[in-house]
Structure 1
Amino acid sequence: MITTNPFDDDKLREECGIFGVSGADTASAIVALGLHALQHRGQEAAGITSWDGHDFHTHRAMGHVAGNFDRDEVIRGLPGGSACGHVRYSTTGETSLRNVQPLYAELNSGGFAVAHNGNISNAMKVRRELIRRGSIFQSTSDTEVIIHLVATSSYRTLLDKFIDALKQVEGAYSLIVMTPEGMIACRDPLGIRPLVMGKLGDTIMFASETVAFDVVGAEYIRSIDPGELVIVTNSGEIRSHRPFGEVHPRPCIFEHVYFSRPDSIVDGSSVYSVRKAIGAQLAIENPVEADYVIPVPDSGVPAAIGYAQESGIPFELGIIRSHYIGRTFIQPGDKVRHLGVKLKHNANRALIEGKKIVLIDDSIVRGTTSLKIVQMMREAGAAEVHMRIASPPTKHSCFYGVDTPERTKLLAHKLDVGGMQDFIHADSLSFISIDGLYKALGEAKRADGRPQYCDACFTGDYPTTLTDQDDVVVTNQLELLAERVA
């Protein structure tokens, strides 16, 4: 099976999406609706766990929310006033049902369910130590180390056990946890991954993005602060804890560039407005003479609008996307595979033929997407094809819950901008600068040079230690040295 959407294949994969509801008559039904709005964050699998005051109930399945959680019998099997859900795109752990979240375990304190967006960057090291001490793992997911750390903590209360566990992990995490005592929502001290709080009557909700609240008619209250734990008890009491020392936050900058839906609010900013501002700044930094500004659908649309408004070049839809084609179909040969590209995206030939166009996309990863797009435009008769990218060159891999290729497969790691331009066969290629990106976000690097965001995929400036990755590098170096000695 080969994907029919080569444009999506060459994107940084959204991490995961989480949604929790506390204090509702039909909590699991609300969660299912919210997960529909977060489907873009993970399309591999989905799961919901509910609590009815006595027992926990879980349903997990491979595939989309639709088809798995839109049946009455499934929702009836998830009773209770509290529920949390998860949509997954795996960044660690194999693709199998045992890794689908929420993960659930029976601890000494009772049931414990956790939904996680992010990646624990020292999970392998912690896992090895836990196994040495006798822990038995049921999945290959990094999230499971949190459950074992809670279970083996020597602290007395469940909250203290949970905080103790979090202080032993590194990396990025936004978590929704369900226990017999209530629901906990927390965000890592750097705030790398997003998490927001909403309300519908007396019902409290937590989600990766505000669009989940829009779908269920809830009011967006605020973002969960970096390093904050918000507890909602079964009686509806809300408490906030800040157990970590103060740290300079570094939320993921790519949430604004690509991951979040444009109708979301991320850390107080409209994603749509930010992307338009990025496009405007891109036009200021990288002007070009052209007849039309054309977005690469769908993620390039807001930036293309901003570019068009700033440059005065008309905005047009030069690539038409079909939303009614499944992700995969059987392609027996190269010729059919090439034809399959046009099932989802097709050039608007009547518009493009004989014109100079500037294409706006959010990023270049391997470069295969851009190559096919430029080729499509030339086959449609474009006189010139210029490409402008609404993010700096992606030169480094992400280890915080985003599925990126290894660094050697990133086009910007292998080639400079001129080489990338030749690779995709464009008449010109330009990226927004890192300073321009910050300017579009209304931010600036602090006087001491520290960035306001995690921009490691562009700069290589990782905000945390990367214990597991460093261990892999050392192991590879030792193996290489041993081969040379032998």
Structure 2
Amino acid sequence: MCGIIGVFGHKEAAKIAFFGLYALQHRGQESAGIVTSDGEEAYEHRALGLVAEVFNEPILQKLKGHLAVGHVRYSTTGSTTTKNTQPFFVIHGKRTFALAHNGNLVNAHILRTELEKQGSLFQTSMDSEIIVHLIAKSLNKGLVEAIRDTMEVIEGAYSVILLSQDKIVAFRDPYGFRPLALGMLNGGYILASETCAFDLVQAQYLRDIEPGEILVIDENGLNSYKGVESKTTAHCIFEFIYFARPDSDIFGQNVYNFRKKLGFQLAEECPLQADFVMPFPDSGNYAAIGYAQATGLPFEMGVIRNHYVGRTFIQPSQSMRDFSVRVKLNPVKDILRGKKVAVVDDSLVRGTTSRTRVKAIREAGAFEINMLISCPPIKYPCFYGIDFPSRGELIAAKHSVEEIRRYLELDRLHYLSLEGLIKAAGGNHKSFCLACFNGKYPVPIKIPVHKEILEKD
């Protein structure tokens, strides 16, 4: 759950990275950082906070060079401290390296223990630092070979952009869990987690970084190498359901249209007699549009969002999450009073947020509240970079749909079926990771601490 950006060959690389991170702010709100290079010297600035809080014009002016790598962070591995901000910046020998990582390594604990036994000293608690240590161990073979050796060892989800003085290198895990795209900008190149970053700086999308690929961008242009073989893909389906911006294209599809298809599938599975369809904004907007179009029901905004409050799912603490729910959405009483409503949302994780929202709609005078969820029940935690907690905190892991309906005080609750989700995705379930729904993890869970999370009540 992070956003990464890379820029090569632009005289204002730092500003391009800044605007790219601004577009990717939804992927992480804890910290932001940019490292630049002029081919010889590297410059850095990282801090806790939002992109607009961390950077200003004087700071960006000091970040010189035509190369840049940037990062916005939401922590799934490693605590929220200044030392854990990215890009992770080190000097090894006479070379500087800055690494931005999106994803989670599932064998991080094992690798860290082995590296520490061999004498490695760690500066942070991030799994991303492990990648740098492993690359450094094989640098005598050359950078591409060092990255290839590292990819043979690390397991899990990683989309990585690495800056090394005069070049930018991107590499991606063989399953392609997290998105990473390549674009062209004024004769240079740009890399980003999502294409919405390209749109903001008017870059041209070229292609995605392939799963298992190593892409080197330097004065010779683009050079692609096979890192590790990709036998099958496991794109994170939740990127489509919730996490990516609707104006982005990821994994070869447009997010907005994908979410509308989820609404079409909901209409096919659960047509309702209601006065109107309404989303919980903004996460439910596009599936609600699809549902309304498919059923012919009117579409209304029954609750209004305060856009100056951060995304509740991103907030790291439960107390902050509850506060944000109360501040974030306000029911429109005149629209809701006495009405039968079909409420569409993208997901139910813990259930606490939805319970508060449903209560507010009921208190506003809604006569009947039916809720439609545009994904199946989330029953298993994610170890690849989405912040789903232990099974005990996932409401669908221990409760039936009927029990959840009663807990939320709904008149009706319907989850999109797994079959419906796969149909909306194009029918090829083998290309997506569905582990949060069915518990089938593409990369096996080997670490005891992960098993504790999986089994914890």
Length-normalised TM-score, structure 2: 0.94
Q: Is the 8 A contact 2:67 2:166 kept in 1?
A: no
The Cα shift of 1:314 comes to 0.7
Q: Is the 8 A contact 2:390 2:453 kept in 1?
A: no
Q: 1:109 to 1:167 in 2, by over 3 A?
A: farther
Q: Deviations over 1:187-242 (max 9, x none)?
A: 11000010001111211000000000000010111111111111101x14111111
Q: Is the 8 A contact 1:86 1:101 kept in 2?
A: yes
Name the counterpart of 2:393: 409
Q: Percent identity?
A: 46
Q: Aligned pair 1:103/2:88, yes or no? A: yes
Q: Is the 8 A contact 2:391 2:454 kept in 1?
A: no
Name the counterpart of 2:211: 226
Q: Aligned pair 1:116/2:95, yes or no? A: no
One-letter code aligned to 1:19: I
Give 3-state SS (helix, strand or coil) of 2:236's partner. Answer: coil
Name the counterpart of 1:241: 225
Q: Aligned pair 1:462/2:438, yes or no? A: no
One-letter code aligned to 1:166: M
Q: 1:322 to 1:160 in 2, by over 3 A?
A: same
Question: 1:286, 1:189 → 2: CA distance?
Answer: 37
Question: 1:151, 1:228 → 2: CA distance?
Answer: 19
The Cα shift of 1:374 comes to 1.2
The Cα shift of 1:167 comes to 1.1
Q: Aligned pair 1:47/2:26, yes or no? A: no
Q: Aligned pair 1:129/2:108, yes or no? A: no
Q: Aligned pair 1:397/2:381, yes or no? A: yes
Q: Deviations over 1:312-367 (max 9, x none)?
A: 11110001112235789xxxxxxxx9998553211111111010001000000010
One-letter code aligned to 1:160: E
CA RMSD, 1 decimal:
1.9
Equivalent residue for 1:145, pick from 102, 114, 130: 130
Higher mean Cα deviation, 101-110 or 162-171?
101-110
Question: 1:101, 1:312 → 2: CA distance?
Answer: 47
The Cα shift of 1:298 comes to 0.4
Q: Aligned pair 1:212/2:191, yes or no? A: no
Q: 1:461 to 1:326 in 2, by over 3 A?
A: closer
Give 3-state SS (helix, strand or coil) of 1:20's partner. Answer: strand
The Cα shift of 1:105 comes to 1.2
Question: 1:374, 1:43 → 2: CA distance?
Answer: 27
Give 3-state SS (helix, strand or coil) of 1:343's partner. Answer: helix
Equivalent residue for 1:34, pick from 20, 45, 50: 20
Name the counterpart of 1:267: 251
Q: Is the 8 A contact 1:23 1:236 kept in 2?
A: no
Give 3-state SS (helix, strand or coil) of 1:170's partner. Answer: coil
Q: Is the 8 A contact 2:33 2:86 kept in 1?
A: yes
Name the counterpart of 1:60: 46
Q: Is the 8 A contact 1:172 1:192 kept in 2?
A: yes
The Cα shift of 1:247 comes to 1.2
Name the counterpart of 2:188: 203
Structure with greater contact order relative to length (CA < 8 Å, sep ≥ 6): 1
Q: Is the 8 A contact 1:20 1:176 kept in 2?
A: yes
* 1:42-441 → structure 2 map (5 Å cutoff): 42-69=28-55, 71-108=56-93, 110-153=95-138, 155-233=140-218, 235-325=219-309, 341-441=325-425
Q: Deviations over 1:81-131 (max 9, x none)?
A: 000100000000011011100001112361111000000110111000000
Q: Is the 8 A contact 1:279 1:307 kept in 2?
A: yes
Unaligned runs of 5+ in 2: 313-320
Q: 1:292 to 1:444 in 2, by over 3 A?
A: same
One-letter code aligned to 2:269: E
Name the counterpart of 1:3: none
Name the counterpart of 2:318: none
Higher mean Cα deviation, 154-163 or 289-298?
154-163
Q: 1:129 to 1:284 in 2, by over 3 A?
A: same
Question: 1:340, 1:196 → 2: CA distance?
Answer: 32
One-letter code aligned to 2:411: D
Q: 1:201 to 1:61 in 2, by over 3 A?
A: same
Q: Deviations over 1:459-480 (max 9, x none)?
A: 1010002222x45548999xxx
Give 3-state SS (helix, strand or coil) of 1:66's partner. Answer: helix
Q: 1:208 to 1:340 in 2, by over 3 A?
A: closer
One-letter code aligned to 2:42: F
Q: Deviations over 1:136-175 (max 9, x none)?
A: 0000000000111111227521211121112110000000
Q: Deviations over 1:57-101 (max 9, x none)?
A: 1100100000221x2211112100000100000000011011100
The Cα shift of 1:53 comes to 1.4
Q: 1:192 to 1:223 in 2, by over 3 A?
A: same
Question: 1:35, 1:201 → 2: CA distance?
Answer: 19
Q: Aligned pairs, how many?
A: 447
Q: 1:222 to 1:146 in 2, by over 3 A?
A: same
Question: 2:333, 2:423 → 1: CA distance?
Answer: 36
Name the counterpart of 2:3: 17
Question: 2:417, 2:94 → 1: CA distance?
Answer: 51
Unaligned runs of 5+ in 1: 1-14, 329-336, 446-450, 478-486
Q: Is the 8 A contact 2:35 2:43 kept in 1?
A: yes
List structure 1 runs of 4+ shifted beyond 2 angstroms: 324-328, 337-344, 470-477
Give 3-state SS (helix, strand or coil) of 1:172's partner. Answer: coil
Question: 2:178, 2:323 → 1: CA distance?
Answer: 38
Higher mean Cα deviation, 146-155 or 253-262?
146-155
